[in-house]
């Protein structure tokens, strides 16, 4: 299901939103949004304490205060490394709408 098909349609991803898989596994919260990735801080009871990056291409839905992602553990937990130094992060990422859905502006 695409984000625009949800009953709680959102137009942006914002810092502080929960990131989880469609299966319900909690990954953490969005701290920043880069050009190609979400920077995620693991939830406090996670065994991993380091921030990680999730590619924007792995997002399958956005509803309410949640961002849903899909992929393998390695695809969803990319090391941040020096990405901050080479990226221009933001706190809000507007979502583009596909013209094929009929939701795109004319």
Lowest mean pLDDT among 3-7, 9-13, 20-24: 3-7
- Does the domain at 3-95 match CATH 2.30.30.240? Answer given as yes
pTM of the model: 0.72
Q: Taking residues 19-31, report their average pLDDT.
A: 92
pLDDT at 63: 84
Q: Taking residues 47-75, report their average pLDDT.
A: 87
Domain positions in the chain: 3-95
Cα distances from 96 to residues 16, 56, 62, 78, in angstroms, run: 20, 12, 12, 24
Lowest mean pLDDT among 5-14, 55-64, 69-78: 5-14
Residue 53: is its pLDDT beyond 80? yes
Please state, as a whole number, how many other Cβ atoms lie within 10 Å of the Cβ of residue 53.
21
């Amino acid at each position: 299901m695409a984000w625009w098909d949800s009953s709680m349609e959102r137009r942006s991803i914002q810092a502080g939103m929960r990131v989880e898989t469609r299966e319900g596994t909690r990954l953490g919260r969005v701290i920043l949004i880069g050009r190609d990735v979400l920077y995620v801080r693991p939830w406090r009871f996670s065994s991993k304490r380091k921030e990680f990056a999730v590619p924007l291409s792995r997002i399958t839905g956005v509803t309410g205060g949640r961002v849903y992602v899909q992929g393998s553990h390695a695809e969803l937990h990319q090391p941040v490394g020096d990405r901050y130094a080479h990226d221009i992060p933001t706190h809000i990422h507007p979502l583009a709408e596909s013209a094929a859905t009929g939701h795109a502006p004319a």
